[in-house]
Chain A
Amino acid sequence: MSLAEERQLLAGWGRAGKSAARLVSPSCTQEAEKVLAALGNEGGRPAIARGLGRSYGDAAQCGGGTVIDCRGLTAPFEISPSGLCRAGGGLSIDSLLERAVPAGWFVPVTPGTRQVTVGGAIASDVHGKNHHVDGAFAAHLRRLELVAPTGRILCGPEDPAFAASCGGMGLTGVITEATFQLIPIESSRIKVETERAGDLDACMALLAERAEEHRYSVAWVDGLAGGRKLGRSVVTRGDHARPAELPAGAAKDPLAYRPRQRFRAPLAPPLSPLSPATIALMNEVWYRKAPRTSKTSFESIASFFHPLDAVGDWNLLYGTRGFIQYQYVVPFGAEEVVRDSLERLGRAGHPPYLVVLKTFGPPGQGHLSFPREGWTLALDLPLGRAGLAEVLDGLDELVAEAGGRVYLTKDSRLRPELLEQMYPRLPAWREEARRLDPDGIMSSDLDRRLGLRRSPEKKALGK
């Protein structure tokens, strides 16, 4: 098989740091194997898998090399009577839910968008609002099929290739198929308790208290509120509703599932309509709308788990320069890092437009998996005004010192010299990645920027 030479400019969801690569689109495992074999014969031009491109940074691009578009790897797709799901690596969670929900099944973990592939979910070992009780995606994975440069392998949780591939950012090969356990649901509605918190302490108290009582929990924080209101937020906690609990209308067809995309951002507007002023206004309205004390409501899967999917291509609203999502986790006890982050960004004139805080439970098996016990904070930050680079470099240091880490699938700018401190299992991962890909064919812009595969050139910490 020879590979054509068509170049395409690719970017992550944040739309910054674009690079051009050759795109190849295998439509089955055998074709993926042929692509990797052809790459090997070409002599070391790097390649990386790409799913739906929902990683925010440069994880699914490979400037000057080859990007393997996995969206065609949708087969097989089967759900066994016990809820074991066998899915192609390119199948989207969106298509999966369309079939699974009406049959009474739900994915064990869903990120904040359903527009991700199974392969992408595994390669980033994604987490959902239920991490504190259910762990990340790989915890529910029984088996995966990996096409590595050294060949196709099937592996399970006890295999070294499994721990290297879950959270491995595509750098061990192409995940062509996976088998994982779905969870049973009796309705497609979520019983949600919504409550507002006046400041960060109140918010953290709400998230931490009786955390195990709800399967899902998350706080949306007003990133533009400072001073006494710093960290004011709306906390939602939810569980899959039982049909008996549902209001009359919904109870008639409890497993009905009709997610909809309501709008679509037309084109990247030359000037972003988003600004601190418009965001502050939106946040104010949304905060005031939330009940002061806990109130129960029923929401659809789409509106509870994937609210942003209601607006297609919403990332274009950030304008031509795009944006960064900075997400980290710090251990419990390091609450001050969260407060400091919000304060520093506000003071520097770079307030985050979207802020999400939640708690994580214990880490999983993936060597490079992001979650560990503690607080995880995600911040959407527009690019285009100088000074952000310096503030974030400072936050990297706070996070590393606290024993935390930055999420690679969101990253587009981490200080490479902190990588080993943040990911202490990096040496074990490197060894296994080398075994699966001794010639270093798998690589991405993320890999090159951070030196994931190779020990990077040592650089002393700058002042």
Chain B
Amino acid sequence: MNDATGMPQRVLVVGGSSDIARQILLLLARRRLVHVVLCGRDLAAMEEVAGELRRVGVSRAECLSLDLTEPGGLGELAEEATERLGEVDLALFSAGELGSAELEELDAARVSQMVASNFSGQAAIALELAKGLLRQGSGRLVFISSVAGVRVRRANFVYGAAKAGLDSFAIGLSEALRGTGVGVMIVRPGFVRTKMTAGLPAAPFSVGPQEVAAAVLAGLEEGREVVWVPAPLRLVFGLLRLLPQALWRRLPG
């Protein structure tokens, strides 16, 4: 169960080796977390996170292999993870793949793959889980979106477009679930210094995964539907969204 302060006991993670997910789970472990199922591609990295969680007192931390680009297995994965947890209090969608935005490096297969891992694969699992949460009568879905999807840039447009898809899907799902006891929270971080962005120059308002995690926990406790990290990005992007494309194109970073 989630408690009245929004703290879950049983958590399912899609994108189980992400730095942001790891930090969120470490914070949740200090509150109520007892059982987590990590789903993702990198089993070795996930096993490490699972071990770390067990060491800080989480009684069960398990890993399931997941390939978001294989639409065939997604429904079964949702089922398998739910079965292991018994009840899903919170499902966290934190898979992300920055990929390339250079036309010569991209082809049909690459683009499909990036859309699947950032958007469609996660949306498919989210939909199946949402039905389960509806039967359960309560629960929460948390999507790690990105400001890259709020206004798409040339420098990461495939990633940005996929995140925009995920973000919009989450908004729609949240409307579909209104009044059912199942909630949705969308997290929109700016530039996060993680292994995904290693080597890139940090943009203004950049944050670490710990800061994202702290904002996510605060958002859960406050019952928010949208969380920007850092918070001022909400205003910044409120304005940036209105910029003419010619100006937006020239902005540095």
Contacts and interface: CB of A to CB of B under 8 A. Distances in A.
A262 interface: no
B217 interface: yes
Interface-centre pick from A9, A322, A386 (highest chain B CB count, 10 A): A386
A383 B4 contact: yes
- The bracket for how many chain B residues form the interface is 20 to 34
B59 A459 contact: yes
A64 B131 CA distance: 12
A322 B181 contact: no
A413 B57 contact: no
Contact of A393 (B31, B34, B59, B180): B31
B72 interface: no
B58 interface: yes
Contacts of A322: 4
Given A9-B181, A19-B137, A389-B31, A457 B60 contact: yes
B1 A449 contact: yes
B34 A459 contact: yes
Given A20-B137, A459-B59, 15 more contacts: A57-B4, A58-B1, A64-B136, A64-B138, A324-B4, A324-B5, A383-B4, A386-B217, A386-B218, A386-B221, A387-B221, A388-B221, A389-B31, A412-B3, A462-B57
A416 B32 contact: yes
Interface in A412-431: 412-413, 415-416
A254 to B, nearest CB: 44
Nearest to A392: B5
A19 B181 contact: yes
Interface string B1-18: 111111101000000000
A414 B55 CA distance: 22
B180 A20 contact: yes
Given A20-B138, A63-B181, A386-B222, A462 B34 contact: no
7 contacts: A7-B137, A63-B1, A64-B135, A389-B31, A445-B138, A449-B9, A462-B31
A79 B47 CA distance: 66
Nearest to B220: A386
Interface of B: 1-7, 9, 29-32, 34-35, 56-60, 87, 134-138, 179-181, 217-219, 221-223
Chain A to chain B: the 9 pairs with minimum beta-carbon distance, closest first = A63-B137, A412-B4, A460-B57, A386-B218, A389-B5, A449-B1, A20-B137, A16-B4, A19-B138
A143 interface: no
B32 to A, nearest CB: 7
A18 B138 contact: yes
Nearest to A393: B31
Contact of A413 (B4, B30, B137, B219): B4
A384 B219 CA distance: 9
B1 A457 contact: no
B5 A413 contact: yes
Contacts of B6: 389
A371 interface: no
A57 B4 CA distance: 8
A458 B60 CA distance: 10
A389 B35 CA distance: 19
A413 B3 contact: yes
A65 B181 CA distance: 13
B221 A389 contact: yes
Nearest to B31: A389
A316 to B, nearest CB: 16
Interface string A145-159: 000000000000000
B30 to A, nearest CB: 4
Contacts of A58: 1, 4
Contact of B7 (A20, A413, A445, A456): A413
A384 to B, nearest CB: 6
Given A63-B136, A63-B181, A383-B4, A463 B223 contact: no
Nearest to A450: B1
A267 interface: no
Contacts of B32: 415-416
A17 B57 contact: no
Contacts of B87: 448
Nearest to A320: B223
B175 to A, nearest CB: 16
Contacts of A460: 56-57
Contacts of B31: 389, 393, 462
A20 to B, nearest CB: 4
Nearest to B60: A457
Which of B1, B7, B31: most chain A CB closer than 10 A?
A: B1
Contacts of A17: 1-4, 138
